[in-house]
């Protein structure tokens, strides 16, 4: 039988045979498991002829940029450029409330940011990079292109996922997809032997459009993103402290574009409502809402209202998928 070590050796050999000694490779890191493992593998094969970019789109979670950059640089020694494109993304999203429009704008902005990075790199190297690394997994391959007669449908036409096939077509880059025959658990096993930190490999999935699909309505309205980041961080930290993070597929907070009346101290307040969502799932296609203990919910709601200015009400999402989707947009 094949071990993960065999898979790793074979992949490195394939990449070294494919990429010439003078050729350069680029990779967009999302902060997720797949792109990180793919990049780490390619880095092992070709060293610093790999050039990674991480885009801060202004829609990241609390301290996400610092946290992932630390893993990339300190733990994995990946050559990464961090591009701060927050202003650009947020100005394009101003006034936009339609979820699909948000996704389209984010996809388009991502491409233009990536293009600019590739162009700068070309100037620096004096030549075009030849390859692009993508963290495509086997299920992504099947899902975006179901084999005839497989009975599989295009599940993701329900929401347009910008990270599937969403890179510039005119860039003429050849693809390196070192994970395309692997399932998620195999990618985690591969990541482990590549020394990707355990905690990183176990992170919940996070959607490409980020917090834009977790702030309902206009994401640039008031301090919605900032409030959501604080609430989400308290929720996730409480889940980790309770030792249940690994039993949950995804957990996050949602910012609602409404206000409700509350009382704090002896003051009447008219403040924000946030929703907490946590689900279990095998693959994200269907999901069950996660049943927290009452004490956990009580503590977390109290903590949120006590420490996040402008929030006076916390509700929990108790729907499964279907009929709901995991994300609210």
Q: Which is nearer to ligand XMP, 250 or 312 (CB)?
A: 250
Name the one range near ligand XMP by CB under 6 A: 43-51, 126-134, 158-166, 312-320.
158-166
CB of 278 within 8 A of CB of 315?
Answer: no
Q: How far is the CB of 265 from ligand XMP (least distance, A)?
A: 37
Cα separation, 183 vs 187, in Å, equals 6
Residue 19, CA distances (Å) to 12, 56, 176 in order: 11, 29, 9
CB within 8 Å of 189: residues ≥ 6 apart: 4
Pairing of strands 25-29, 288-289: unpaired
207 binds ligand XMP (CB under 6 A): yes
Contact string (CB under 6 A) for ligand XMP, positions 279-318, x = contact = -----x----------------------------------
CB within 8 Å of 21: residues ≥ 6 apart: none
197 binds ligand XMP (CB under 6 A): no
Positions of E strands within the chain: 25-29, 50-56, 80-84, 131-133, 174-176, 250-264, 267-280, 288-289, 311-316
By CB under 6 A, name the one of 24, 161, 229, 313 that touches ligand XMP: 161
Q: Take residue 259 and report the two structure tokens written for it.
A: 């206000």
Contact string (CB under 6 A) for ligand XMP, positions 209-248, x = contact = x---------------------------------------
CB of 73 within 8 A of CB of 82?
Answer: no
184 binds ligand XMP (CB under 6 A): no
208 binds ligand XMP (CB under 6 A): yes
By CB under 6 A, name the one of 40, 250, 271, 312 that touches ligand XMP: 250
Restricted to residues 85-144, the positions that interact with ligand XMP (CB under 6 A) are: 103
Restricted to residues 35-94, the positions that interact with ligand XMP (CB under 6 A) are: none
Count CA atoms within 13 Å of residue 32 on its CB side: 19
Positions of E strands within 57-155: 80-84, 131-133
Q: How far is the CB of 279 from ligand XMP (least distance, A)?
A: 9
Q: How far is the CB of 218 from ligand XMP (least distance, A)?
A: 18
Using the CB atoms, write b or e for 190-214: b if 16+ within 10 Å.
bbeebebeeebbebbebbbbbbbbb
CB within 8 Å of 321: residues ≥ 6 apart: 279, 281, 285, 286, 287
CB of 133 within 8 A of CB of 176?
Answer: yes
Q: How far is the CB of 278 from ligand XMP (least distance, A)?
A: 12
Q: How far is the CB of 166 from ligand XMP (least distance, A)?
A: 9
180 binds ligand XMP (CB under 6 A): no
Q: How far is the CB of 86 from ligand XMP (least distance, A)?
A: 18
Name the one range near ligand XMP by CB under 6 A: 14-22, 40-48, 204-212, 227-235.
204-212
By CB under 6 A, name the one of 71, 130, 163, 271 that touches ligand XMP: 163
Name the one range near ligand XMP by CB under 6 A: 49-57, 62-70, 141-149, 200-208.
200-208
Q: How far is the CB of 248 from ligand XMP (least distance, A)?
A: 12
Cα separation, 7 vs 290, in Å, equals 35
Residue ranges that bind ligand XMP, judged by CB under 6 A: 103, 159, 161-163, 205, 207-209, 250, 284, 321, 325-327
């Amino acid at each position: 039988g094949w071990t993960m070590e065999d898979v790793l050796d074979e992949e490195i050999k394939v990449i070294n045979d494919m990429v010439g000694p003078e050729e350069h490779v680029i990779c967009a890191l999302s902060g997720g498991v797949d792109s990180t493992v793919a990049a780490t593998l390619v880095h092992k094969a070709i060293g610093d002829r790999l050039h990674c970019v991480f885009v801060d789109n202004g829609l990241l979670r609390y301290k996400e940029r610092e946290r992932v950059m630390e893993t990339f640089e300190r733990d994995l020694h990946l050559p990464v450029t961090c591009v701060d494109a927050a202003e650009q993304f947020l100005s394009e999203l101003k006034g936009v409330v339609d979820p699909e429009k948000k996704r389209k704008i984010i996809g388009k902005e991502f491409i233009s940011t990536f293009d600019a990075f590739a162009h700068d790199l070309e100037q620096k190297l004096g030549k075009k990079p030849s390859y692009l690394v993508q963290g495509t997994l086997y299920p992504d391959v099947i899902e975006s292109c179901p084999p005839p007669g497989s009975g599989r449908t295009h599940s993701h036409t329900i929401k347009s996922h910008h990270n599937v096939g969403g890179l510039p077509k005119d860039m003429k880059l050849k693809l390196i997809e070192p994970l395309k025959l692997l399932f998620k658990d195999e990618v985690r096993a591969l990541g482990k032997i590549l020394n990707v930190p355990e905690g990183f490999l176990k992170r919940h999935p996070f959607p490409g459009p980020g917090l834009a699909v977790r702030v309902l309505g206009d994401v640039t309205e008031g301090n919605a993103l900032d409030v959501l980041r604080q609430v989400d961080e308290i929720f996730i930290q409480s889940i980790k402290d309770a030792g249940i993070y690994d039993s949950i597929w995804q957990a996050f907070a949602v910012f609602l574009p409404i206000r409700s009346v509350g009382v704090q101290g002896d003051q009447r307040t008219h403040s924000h409502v946030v929703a907490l969502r946590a689900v279990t799932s095998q693959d994200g296609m269907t999901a069950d809402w996660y049943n927290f203990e009452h004490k956990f919910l009580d503590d977390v709601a109290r903590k949120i209202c006590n420490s996040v200015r402008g929030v006076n009400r916390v509700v929990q999402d108790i729907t499964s998928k279907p009929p709901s989707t995991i994300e609210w947009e």
